[in-house]
Structure 1
Amino acid sequence: MSSRALVVIDVQESFRQRPIWAATSNPDLVDRVRRLTEAFRAGGHLVVWVLHTEPGTGTVFDPALGFVRLIDGLEPAAGEPVLHKTSHNAFTTTNLQQLLTEAGVRELAVCGIRTEQCVETTARLGADLGYRVTFVTDATATNPIEHPDAPPGRPLHEILADPRTLGVDEIVTRTEYALAGRFATIRTVAELTAELTELTGGSAELTGGRGPVLQGPVAG
């Protein structure tokens, strides 16, 4: 049993089918996620894969269209769970917590798509459930977010030209500010993989990074 797990969230072909993917914050996402999975496996830690699904919607998240699958270059190892969720966070509509409890996991590292949406909400809920959470920002990806009042269906160049559009750097910064010291420790792929390589067994606690871990939110 391992006290740690890596949860890989929504790194799926669905997102690559959207025009906005051309403006993704992290073109190297697959390589970085692969580095993390290899490091966790080498340390004997659990890796859990999560895919987002919206059955019957006819969108890129509808399993009937065939895009609810990992992006090419990623593949679960034998015995690694692959969960399908319909909520933003990876807990509410899956048996993730049960799997983690059965495996004796107390520390989570989270990565995937999108930085401020499914990955962040999973980190927040994980912290509220008592897990020590590490948010591996450079193994997450997001895209520019249009203003709520923007007209739907605009081409990408209009979205990017709109000064009200929230850029990816702003999104990533906001997410780290919101999480650090409240819900998660912020780490890089290099930091976490180096630590996993140095440690033996799975009992040592995650240390360092760019912010302390708390097991719940800070008041105020």
Structure 2
Amino acid sequence: MNTLLIIDMQNAWLDNPAQPCFDTAGVVGRINHAARHIRAQGGKVIFVQHADAHARIGSAPWQVIAALEKEATDGTVDKLAGDSFAATDLAAQLAASATSTVYVCGFATEFCVDTAVRAAASRGLRVVALSDAHTTADRPHLAAPAIIAHHNWVWSGLPVPADAALTVCTTAQAFPA
């Protein structure tokens, strides 16, 4: 089974005019496209939501942004750290659904998305990083498009365990229309 992990696409991080994310509308459209394909293929969509003092579980900032299409059958994971697997039931959810390939997308490229890609691969999963379906904001030292390009490049050559695989491709390559 294929699973799509949608990392931290929440109001707290994406509805911040002081620090806008790169190509949010395009990223949201591509995530919705991927989610529709995964669901149509009988796969699982899991929304991973980060909680902290600014985005307490259940609060408005913690909620997934309204532009994302969320179905009642989609899974959720609440996390308190950058690693979606740390102190969560994500590994158990993936095992229960017999996940063979994990597609990763969301926010923030250099933090939680990067950690999810690496953590999933280190657990022996087949991982596909959707190169055009993750985003971040400009940082003091680097603009968002450069951060995104850098991580896509790193992931494309990252050594993973022998029982794992890591592929980087666009959403259209992974899920042709």
Q: TM-score, normalised by structure 2?
A: 0.89
For residue 73 of structure 1, what is the aligned residue in structure 2?
67
Output the amino acid matched with 1:40: I
Counting aligned pairs with the same residue, the percent is 26
Write out per-residue CA displacement over residues 83-136 of structure 1, whole angstroms, 9 at most, x where no aligned residue: 111111211121010011111112110000011110111000100000011000
Q: Which has the greater radius of gyration?
A: 1
Q: Measured at CA, do residues 20 and 180 of structure 1 come closer, stay the same or move farther in structure 2, by a change above 3 Å?
A: farther
For residue 35 of structure 2, what is the aligned residue in structure 1?
37
Distance 1:126 1:178 in 2: 15
Match of 2:172, SS state, is helix
For residue 154 of structure 2, what is the aligned residue in structure 1?
178
Distance 2:59 2:175 in 1: 35
Output the amino acid matched with 1:133: V
Q: After the TM superposition, which residues 89-100 of structure 1 pair with which residues of structure 2 at under 5 Å, given as runs?
A: 89-100=83-94
For residue 26 of structure 1, what is the aligned residue in structure 2?
23
Could you list the runs of 5+ residues in structure 2 that have no partner in the other structure? 161-165
For residue 154 of structure 1, what is the aligned residue in structure 2?
none
How many corresponding residue pairs? 170
Write out per-residue CA displacement over residues 7-53 of structure 1, whole angstroms, 9 at most, x where no aligned residue: 1111111113433443x212222211111100101111111111110
Could you list the runs of 5+ residues in structure 1 that have no partner in the other structure? 147-164, 198-220
Q: Tell me the C-alpha RMSD between the 2 structures.
A: 1.6
Distance 1:63 1:21 in 2: 22
Q: TM-score, normalised by structure 1?
A: 0.72
Aligned structure 1 segments of 4 or more residues deviating by more than 4 angstroms: none
Q: Measured at CA, do residues 35 and 64 of structure 1 come closer, stay the same or move farther in structure 2, by a change above 3 Å?
A: closer
Tell whether 2:3 aligns with 1:5: yes
Higher share in strand: 2
